[in-house]
């Protein structure tokens, strides 16, 4: 009976190599093969993208809204109560973009918040229900809702 076969480890040859040229951490530009130079911007994540790529994240597309796969719906609502100064617009945008909706949200001079949501009917209904509660720190007293015809907006924005 023979014992287990142990493969021999590969032999490693030590070869003296010249050290790589030292790059300065402060060099603002770097060479991109075939595309010239571009600004080095590790903070914004540009270095891992193709030379022509934008540093901004791609916005979600609402293709299903326009292909007829989903029943499209648009509503405009006015939210009353303590809804300004508590981050209502930012939380609202987060909810809408997370649900794949387009539209806008803005503060009104009378202390209310106006928002319009466009997208699939169930996603719009979910965001409207969230608006009835609001973010932490908000005190929503009423929500006035109006249905509107779909206009085909492409993104969700915070306006002033």
Catalytic center residues: 89, 107
Residue 79 to residues 52, 121, 150, 157, 160, Cα–Cα distance (Å): 42, 20, 21, 17, 15
Angle at 42 between CA 36 and CA 48, to 5 degrees: 60
Measured between alpha carbons, how far is 82 from 134 in angstroms, rounded to an integer? 10
Q: Tell me the Cα Rg of the chain.
A: 27
What does DSSP say about strands 72-82 and 102-107: parallel, antiparallel, or unpaired?
unpaired
Contacts of 117 (CB under 8 A, 6+ apart): 74, 75, 77, 96, 101, 102, 103, 124, 127, 128
């Amino acid at each position: 009976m023979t014992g287990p076969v142990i493969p021999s480890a590969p032999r490693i040859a030590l070869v003296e190599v010249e050290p790589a040229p030292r790059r300065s951490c402060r060099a603002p530009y770097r060479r991109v093969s075939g595309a010239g130079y571009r600004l080095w911007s590790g903070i914004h994540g540009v270095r891992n993208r193709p030379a022509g790529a934008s540093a901004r994240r791609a916005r979600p597309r609402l293709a299903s809204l326009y292909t007829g796969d989903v029943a499209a719906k648009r509503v405009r609502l006015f939210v009353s109560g303590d809804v300004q100064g508590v981050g209502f617009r930012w939380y609202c945008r987060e909810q809408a973009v997370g649900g794949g909706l387009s539209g806008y949200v803005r503060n009104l001079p009378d202390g209310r918040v106006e928002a319009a949501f466009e997208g699939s009917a169930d996603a719009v209904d979910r965001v409207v229900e969230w608006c009835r509660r609001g973010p932490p720190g908000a005190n929503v007293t009423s929500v006035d809702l109006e249905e509107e015809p779909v206009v085909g907006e492409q993104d969700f924005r915070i306006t002033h």
